[in-house]
Every structure is written in C-alpha cells, then in structure tokens.
Amino acid sequence: MGTDRKLFRITGTEARDFLQGLISNDITRAKDGLVYAALLSPQGKYLADFFLWDRGDHILLDADAAQAPGLIQRLSMYKLRADVTIEESDLTVGRGLTNAPDGAMPDPRHPALGWRHYAPDARDIPGIDWDAIRTEHCVPQAGVELIPNDTYILEAGFERLAGVDFKKGCYVGQEVTARMKHKTELRKGLASVSVAGAAPVGTQIEKDGKTAGTLYTQAGGRGIAYLRFDRAKGEMQAGDATVTRIVPASSG
C-alpha cells in the first residue's frame, strides 16, 4: 500500500453518536460515500484527519499510519463505557485518477484527487505525482502542513475541502472553529505559492526582513505555504527560494 495508511473498523450500537460528538464533519453523510473530517483538541487545534465510510454493520476509518496510534488512543479515551469497539481492519487503500475499480469512491476533498478504493489488496496506481496535485490545489497533508496541536482547520482550508460542517451541532473544538468562521476574516492560513528554487520543508518565509510564513510541500514550481496574508505581498524569500503567493481569482 503506497499511501501509508491504517484502516479501522468501528462497531457498536453507539458508534455513530459517539463519532458525531467528536468529529468536525457530519457522520450521517458517510452512508453515501466518503466523509473527510478531523478530530480537534478542546482548544480547537487539529489533532488528526481521516476519512470515514459507513458500511452499515461498521464504520471504516482511514487514517494516516503515523497518526493512527495516537488517534485510536484518544478515541478510546473518549469512549468510556459507550457500546463502541475499535479494531484494526485487514483492508488496504488504493488511490488513482482514472479507471476506478468497482466500489471505489471519489475523494471528497477535491475532484483532482481522484478516487479511493478499499479492499484486501488495494494499491495505489503507480506513477502519479500526488505532491504536484496537492500543491496545485492547496491540499494539506497530515504531519506536513497539518501539525497536531498547532493547526486550526479553517486556516488549513477544511471548509473548502469539505472537512467541516457548521450545522451538525456540538463536537470537540466546535466552539473555537465556529468563532473563527463567524467572527472575522482569516488573517493567516495555507495558500498556494509559486516557488523558484527549492527550500527544505519548514523553511521560514521572509518579506522585507519580517517573517511572512513557512514553506511546506513543493512540486513542479509550486508549493503550499502558511502565510500571514498582510505580509505576503510580491516576491518573498524562503532560504534560497523565491516565493510568490498565488491569489485565487475569487479572492481578488
């Protein structure tokens, strides 16, 4: 499996209510296909992101392999005495852009991310530059742009990526997320940038001697950066690389 993921089965009579009170998205939508969601801290900070698929007798959870132990530990902590069981699945996940196998589902974050397929021997279609697709569409990745106990999901674009529901009711971290949504325009966040040259992931971006952000994934002359929007004007420097924010047409 090329995607370095771990899959889990969540069962029990209270499984859906349990998840609904924890995650950033609406679990009821997982009956119709994949739902993208995050688990947040009580302070509204990102802890982990994942996909959920309601298969009727169980809910399949597709998580980043490096984050999976901590995610399952935290879910188990919240579970208390609820009728919920979490166990590892023997399925794997495969991804591709065309010729989707039977049972594959669209990646809910963006059409350019193609499909995800779950089976005992599912594999990624080889030869796809996923980093290039992510940088083109500003799709963050766990452990790179999405930093546990640091990232706010709205600054990371979760609304655009269909990863948060503002009508579903309470969940852990919901109050902070709702306040960020309704109180003010975001002053910082992830953005697409053009990159001339290269710099290590995590390199500080500077403009006129002031910190303007941090450069993350780079591919094909583009990158994903966390920026202070008031400073991210014109050409900026990230180590030996020159970085320029790509402003979507809708943003002016």
Q: Are residues 215 and 100 in the same domain?
A: no
Q: Are residues 80 and 118 in the same domain?
A: yes
Q: Domain with 132 in it: what CATH number?
A: 3.30.1360.120
Q: Are residues 35 and 146 in the same domain?
A: yes
Residue 183: the pLDDT is 79
For residue 34, the 8-state DSSP code is -
Residue 185: the pLDDT is 84
Instruction: Give the three-class secondary structure for 106.
Output: strand
- Do 113 and 51 form a contact (C-beta atoms < 8 A)? no
Q: Is 98 exposed, middle or buried (0-12, 13-18, 19+ CB in 10 A)?
A: exposed
Residues in the chain with pLDDT values less than 50: 1-2, 251-252
| Overall number of domains in the chain | 2
Boundary-marking domain end, from 180, 207, 232: 180
Instruction: Give the three-class secondary structure for 181.
Output: helix
C-alpha angle with apex 211: 183 to 208, nearest 5 degrees?
115
Q: Are residues 133 and 199 in the same domain?
A: no
| Cβ partners under 8 Å of residue 71, min gap 6 | 39, 47, 48, 50, 63
Q: Are residues 191 and 218 in the same domain?
A: yes
Q: Are residues 168 and 50 in the same domain?
A: yes
Residue 248: the pLDDT is 74
Query: What domain range is 145 assigned to?
Result: 5-180
- Do 47 and 149 form a contact (C-beta atoms < 8 A)? yes
Q: Are residues 176 and 191 in the same domain?
A: no
Q: Are residues 117 and 230 in the same domain?
A: no
Q: Are residues 37 and 118 in the same domain?
A: yes
